[in-house]
Amino acid sequence: MIVPELPEVQTVVEHIRPDLLGEQIIGIEPIWPKVLHNFIPEDLINETIDTHIEDVKRRAKFIIIQLPDHIIAVHLRMTGKLYFVKKNEVPNHASAVVRMKSGKSLIFDDVRKFGRFYLYNNLDPINSCHGPEPLDESFTIDLFLDIFTSRKRNIKAMLLDQSVVAGLGNIYVDESLWMSGIHPSSISNAIPKTKLVKLYKSIRTVLIAAIAAKGTTIINFYVNGESGKFADQLCIFARAGKPCLQCGNEIKKIRVAGRGTYICRKCQLRYIKSRY
């Protein structure tokens, strides 16, 4: 099963944000008991907490609903979806209902029941275990080079590690490594700096294109009933047995860092010997 990555979560944020800004939460109903990870409804809905929604944004793979003095962080996990319904409508797979003063209801629909809501005072608990955002201006080439040349780790495992870079997952890591010509089993500090620079640029290029296409729908990701279109632009992921778009060589599926991984053995070079 594929977990929504940065572009899919960003797509959800952009979809729900206009309808949430300025709203006030007056109730949250956990239909699935475990959906509220670290709080109960009374922790949020009481006289001491201002539940007016000031912003909706993304951090890593979390949707952040910003209140004046708290945040609600939502992780979709495998099958989570957020959408609005009429006041008294509750779909079959709903895990939670967030009710607004205006009468709107935000539904958290989650067939597999792995998605969670978290209540925090601020972003510190999330920031403490997540690395920089790959599309932020502060995530410079110099910072990227410093991170990846100073450690001796498998490059794919490192890119998937949320404490190193936030928001990346299997799809966009495979796409970025293919675009930069790096074999996913390469060792981070063995990769030439010219290739790492290309990887940095490839990550940003792939993510920006995926956000513009509203993410990748392969199995279960939909927003407002619409599927993401980036699946039509995938160059390597889920294309085992098909010809590489650069050289025509057959794409293979292997396992790297415990994950199904798609590679072109001709275009993607494997770097093992440390350079730095």
> What is the DSSP annotation of 18-57?
HHHTT-BEEEEEESSTTSBSS--HHHHSSTTS--B--EEE
Q: Which residue has the tokens 């494997």?
A: 270
Show the beta-strand stretches assigned E in 93-146.
Answer: 94-100, 105-110, 116-120
User: pLDDT (tens digit, 9 = 90+) per residue, 139-195?
Assistant: 999 999 999 999 999 999 999 999 999 999 999 999 999 999 999 999 999 999 999
Question: What is the pLDDT, as a whole number, of residue 90?
Answer: 84
Per-residue pLDDT at 77 exceeds 90:
yes
Domains plus CATH for the chain?
6-128 (3.20.190.10), 141-264 (1.10.8.50)
Question: Could you count the other beta carbons within 10 Å of the beta carbon of residue 86?
Answer: 8
One-letter amino acid for residue 54 of the chain = E
User: pLDDT (tens digit, 9 = 90+) per residue, 225-264?
Assistant: 566 789 899 999 999 999 999 999 999 999 999 999 999 9
Model-level pTM?
Answer: 0.93
**Token representation of residue 275:** 């350079």
Asked if residue 37 lies in contact with residue 118, where contact means CB atoms within 8 angstroms, the answer is yes
Among the residue ranges 3-17, 113-127, 243-257, the one predicted with the least confidence is 3-17
Question: What is the pLDDT, as a whole number, of residue 223?
Answer: 56
Catalytic residues: 4-5, 61, 259
**DSSP tag of 28:** E
Asked if residue 103 lies in contact with residue 40, where contact means CB atoms within 8 angstroms, the answer is no
Q: Phi and psi (nearest 5°) for 131?
A: -80, -170
Instruction: Report which of residues 82 and 89 the model is more confident about.
Output: 82
